[in-house]
């Protein structure tokens, strides 16, 4: 029970008054970010990251991860009250949440959503508490080939598991790798792909890319529909909360199943959004009255919310133990670790015990704080969406510009942010996934480093990636995932098989 002692030490760190305050600030900011269109977990944290350089790393990560929890909670508010998913992972929540609100059961839907979010997160945190040290201990034996293999596996799983066209996933990912390589090569000091421009020598900072791809592009997409917010009103009182809580234990099986789906999808970099859809789909299929889903069933709120929050939380597991983030937001947090001077990966668990366990303890506390904040303050957060979009949009654009500038005090970065915004708008509308692009941009340098070090060990032979059972297994799993779309495509070509792949419109 060494973990238990370390966890208690972590609680001591997280319970310091300063950290408690940051936790609360983080949760409130996070809910705000989750409610506002154009600001999400990933770019909200990207904007605030430069402001945390002066803090101790553990305080900084507590605040930023609490923003993430807050954003996960906040997405449900707009889905249920306004039928507008504040975050992509709350799309599935609108299916039954909004009908419930229309029937005057908004408070019930919100309470169920928040509570099941909390349950999902809680399951994921318990899992992280006990599994993370084991994985980290195992990964201590990894050399460069194994690390490359893990990165290969996580990128391959994007190709194999994404619902969109596989080739587009590859395009987006490769673009991310190329952007990561621009600038000075850290090994030889040579300039790469700068094409004579001095601005390019610094390379592309992924924070700037995230702010543009997720922030600016979201504003552009929202304005297309000529955004008018029309929402239901809701006030949660204690009676409703207690009544819903009393009815929730009936759905424990559903909640557990959704939490497990979420944990699995969060560890593999599929992410919270597919997790919420999958969990909703499974819940509908396994329910006795599946036909009434979409008309305001409480199960239709519980399933996606539990899974999304479990996935969002467990995305931090591979980030902490292997240095491979499971979601764009985890990728931004990983970028934060590097900036605060911490080396992500299994060594964190041995060298930065206070940091790791402080973070894990703050996950427990931050989610409790989040639950309380959203239950109490729902009407105020919902009131924000009654501010006209013209004002909100302008302020978000200003905030994004400031965020892009403060990353490295460069005015050119604001221009880059705008370019990334337009690129993101086009790619999003064409069904190119943005998450692999961001992950490749964050992990590009370290993937390349692992690749080059491996080749140095083997003196240029690619056989090093199959030199022992461990690395071979990981690589084989990666290839299996990578070839999966190809196999299903080939099967579709065979005559007599009706499994022809349908192109998404």
Partner 1 sequence: MSMERGLRTGAVEIGTSLAFALAGAAAIWDSRRIGAGWGAEGPQSGTFPFWIGLFLVAASIGTLVQAVRAREESGLFVTWDQLRLVASVLVPTTIFVAAIPITGIYLASAALVAWFMHRLGGFGWGRSVAAGLATALVTFLVFEIWFLVALPKGPIETALGY
Told to check if 198 binds partner 1 by CB under 8 A, we report no
Min CB(395)–partner 1 separation in Å: 6
Told to check if 181 binds partner 1 by CB under 8 A, we report yes
Would you give the DSSP letter of residue 40? -
CA atoms within 13 A on the CB side of 97: 33
Told to check if 495 binds partner 1 by CB under 8 A, we report no
The window from 61-69, 171-179, 317-325, 466-474 that contacts partner 1 (CB under 8 A) reads 171-179
The window from 18-26, 81-89, 322-330, 416-424 that contacts partner 1 (CB under 8 A) reads 416-424
Q: Would you mind telling me the total number of residues written for the chain in this entry?
A: 505
Rounded distance, CA 127 to CA 115, Å? Answer: 18
Rounded distance, CA 216 to CA 414, Å? Answer: 11
The window from 80-88, 287-295, 323-331, 412-420 that contacts partner 1 (CB under 8 A) reads 412-420
Told to check if 291 binds partner 1 by CB under 8 A, we report no
Would you give the DSSP letter of residue 408? H
Q: How many residues bind partner 1 (CB under 8 A)?
A: 60
CA atoms within 13 A on the CB side of 106: 22
Minimum CB distance to partner 1 smaller for 140 or for 462: 462
Q: In the chain, what is the straight-line distance between the N-terminal and C-terminal CA atoms, in Å?
A: 53
Residue 181's closest CA among 412, 434, 416, 441?
Answer: 441
Rounded distance, CA 137 to CA 495, Å? Answer: 50
| Measured CA distances, 327 to 311, 313, 402, 408, 418 (Å) | 9, 10, 24, 24, 23
Min CB(94)–partner 1 separation in Å: 22
Min CB(184)–partner 1 separation in Å: 10
Q: Report 440-459 residues binding partner 1 (CB under 8 A).
A: 448, 451-452, 455-456
Q: Report 202-231 residues binding partner 1 (CB under 8 A).
A: 216, 219-220, 223-224, 226
Told to check if 480 binds partner 1 by CB under 8 A, we report no
Reduced 3-state DSSP string for 119-146: HHHHHHHHHHHHHHHHHHHHHCCCCHHH
Told to check if 165 binds partner 1 by CB under 8 A, we report yes
- From residue 371 to residue 410, the character string flagging contacts with partner 1 as x (rule: CB under 8 A) and all else as - is -----------------xxxx-xxx-xx--xx--xx--x-
The window from 6-14, 248-256, 418-426, 490-498 that contacts partner 1 (CB under 8 A) reads 418-426
Min CB(139)–partner 1 separation in Å: 23
Told to check if 237 binds partner 1 by CB under 8 A, we report no
Helix 106-139 with 252-267: angle, nearest 10 deg:
50
268 three-class SS: coil
Minimum CB distance to partner 1 smaller for 241 or for 384: 384
User: Helices marked H in 271-411 — which ranges?
Assistant: 272-286, 299-314, 316-322, 328-339, 347-351, 353-384, 389-408
Cβ(25)–Cβ(65) under 8 Å?
no
Binding site for partner 1 (CB under 8 A): 50-51, 165, 167-168, 170-171, 174-175, 177-178, 181, 185, 187-188, 190-193, 195, 216, 219-220, 223-224, 226, 388-391, 393-395, 397-398, 401-402, 405-406, 409, 411, 414-415, 417-418, 422, 425-427, 429-430, 432, 448, 451-452, 455-456, 460, 503, 505
């Amino acid at each position: 029970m060494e973990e238990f002692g370390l966890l208690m030490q972590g609680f001591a760190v997280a319970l310091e008054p300063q950290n408690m305050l940051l936790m609360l600030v983080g949760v409130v900011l996070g809910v705000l970010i989750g409610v506002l269109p154009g600001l999400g977990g990933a770019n909200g944290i990207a904007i605030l990251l430069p402001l945390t350089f002066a803090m101790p790393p553990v305080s900084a990560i507590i605040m930023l991860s609490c923003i993430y929890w807050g954003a996960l909670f906040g997405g449900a508010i707009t889905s249920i009250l306004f039928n507008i998913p504040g975050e992509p992972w709350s799309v599935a929540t609108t299916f039954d949440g909004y009908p419930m609100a229309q029937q005057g059961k908004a408070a019930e839907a919100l309470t169920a959503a928040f509570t099941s979010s909390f349950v999902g997160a809680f399951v994921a945190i318990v899992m992280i508490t006990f599994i993370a040290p084991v994985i980290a201990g195992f990964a201590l034996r990894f050399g460069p080939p194994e690390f490359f293999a893990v990165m290969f596996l996580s990128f391959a799983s994007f190709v194999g598991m994404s619902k969109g066209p596989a080739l587009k996933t590859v395009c987006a990912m490769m673009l991310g790798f190329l952007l990561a390589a621009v600038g000075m090569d850290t090994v030889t000091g040579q300039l790469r792909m700068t094409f004579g421009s001095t601005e390019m020598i610094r390379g592309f900072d992924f924070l700037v890319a995230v702010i543009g791809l997720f922030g600016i592009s979201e504003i552009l997409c929202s304005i297309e529909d000529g955004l008018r917010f029309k929402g239901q009103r809701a006030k949660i009182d204690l009676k409703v909360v207690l009544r819903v809580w009393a009815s929730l234990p009936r759905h424990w099986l559903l909640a557990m199943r959704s939490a497990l789906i979420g944990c699995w999808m969060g560890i593999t970099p599929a992410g919270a959004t597919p997790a919420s859809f999958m969990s909703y789909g499974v819940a509908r299929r396994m329910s006795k009255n599946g036909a009434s889903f979409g008309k305001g069933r409480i199960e239709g709120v519980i399933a996606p919310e539990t899974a999304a929050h479990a996935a969002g939380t467990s995305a931090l597991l591979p980030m902490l133990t292997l240095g491979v983030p499971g979601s764009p937001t985890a990728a931004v947090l990983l970028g934060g670790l590097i900036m605060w001077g911490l080396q992500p990966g299994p060594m964190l668990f041995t060298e930065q015990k206070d940091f790791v366990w402080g973070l894990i303890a703050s996950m427990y506390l931050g989610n409790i704080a989040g639950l309380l904040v959203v239950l109490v303050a729902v009407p105020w957060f919902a009131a924000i969406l009654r501010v006209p979009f013209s004002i909100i949009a302008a302020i978000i654009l200003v905030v994004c510009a400031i965020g892009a500038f403060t990353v490295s005090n460069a005015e050119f970065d604001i221009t880059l942010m705008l370019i990334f915004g337009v690129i993101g708008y086009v790619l999003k509308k064409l069904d190119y996934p943005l998450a692999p692009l961001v992950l490749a941009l964050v992990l590009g340098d370290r993937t390349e480093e692992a690749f080059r070090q491996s080749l140095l060990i083997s003196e240029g032979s690619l056989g090093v990636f199959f030199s022992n059972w461990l690395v071979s297994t990981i690589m084989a799993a990666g290839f299996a995932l990578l070839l999966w779309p190809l196999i299903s495509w080939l099967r579709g070509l065979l005559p007599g098989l009706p499994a022809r792949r349908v192109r998404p419109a």
